[in-house]
Amino acid sequence: MWNQPFGKTDLERGGGARPLYPMMLESPELRWSFIRKVYIIIAFQLLATIAVGAVVVSVHPIALFFAGTGAGLALYIVLIFVPFITLCPLYYYYQKHPVNYLLLGIFTVSLAFVVGLTCAFTSGKVILESVILTTVVVVALTLYTFWAARRGHDFNFLGPFLFGAVLVLMVFAFIQILFPLGKLSVMIYGCLASIIFCGYIIYDTDNLIKRYSYDEYIWASVSLYLDVINLFLSLLSIFRAAES
């Protein structure tokens, strides 16, 4: 019954788009336009990450500089923190074009360097396996979330659980750094992280469909991009530990 009044409104306006979820009050055309914009931004972010990562992996002097020199190690530590530092001005300027895109570019490229350096000393087989599995999982979970949202399912309840799970994951990583527990613990950490970020893909996609405002396309892109990258790195750690 919820879609009948909306259908009459669509006929009067000359549009025929179906609502994305029950009791949808906004225009489906506007929401679909917002969703397309977010996924286009994410596509460019992933392409930039692949390009930068490929350069870092294929040009060996770059990886050797970061791994074998003190200046490279210091620069690597800086690159790790740059994405998080960039999020602060991005929070303030996320509605101001073109500053928001410039900051998003800095965030993406710096994170791409970190991903590339992580892959630099990993076999091509492990990287390919991680890329394929990440792609399959992301596409499957995205399609599932759109399907579930249309049938009235809501995943907003996952927020507190995922936040708590990330805190546990951070403590686990800190313990692993101080007291390395071996290959098995790395695989356990990777499995837990993969499950958590699968949950985040569903949660952030559900927010993209229902809760993000039209001005928050930058934040929506950052959230989903981070979910994909973290899932890839988690799967990479599992395959790398299994191979060693």
pLDDT at 72: 83
CA torsion angle 107 109 115 118 (round to 10): -110
pTM summary value: 0.89
CA atoms within 13 A on the CB side of 231: 25
How many of the other CB atoms lie within 10 Å of CB of 141?
Answer: 19
pLDDT digits (tens, 9 = 90+) for 120-167: 888 888 999 999 999 999 999 999 999 999 999 999 999 999 999 999
* Residue-wise pLDDT tens digits, 63-80: 888 877 888 888 888 888
* Maximum CA extent, the chain: 68
Decide if pLDDT at 10 tops 90. no
- Nearby residues of 80 by Cβ (< 8 Å), 6 or more positions away: 114
Closest CA to 130 of 226, 237, 243, 235: 235
* Choice between 124 and 47, residue whose per-residue pLDDT is larger: 47
* pLDDT tens, residue by residue, 167-193: 998 888 888 877 777 788 888 889 999
Alpha helices in the chain (DSSP H): 3-13, 28-58, 60-68, 70-93, 99-120, 124-150, 158-178, 183-210, 217-243
**Can you give the residue ranges of every domain in the chain?**
26-243
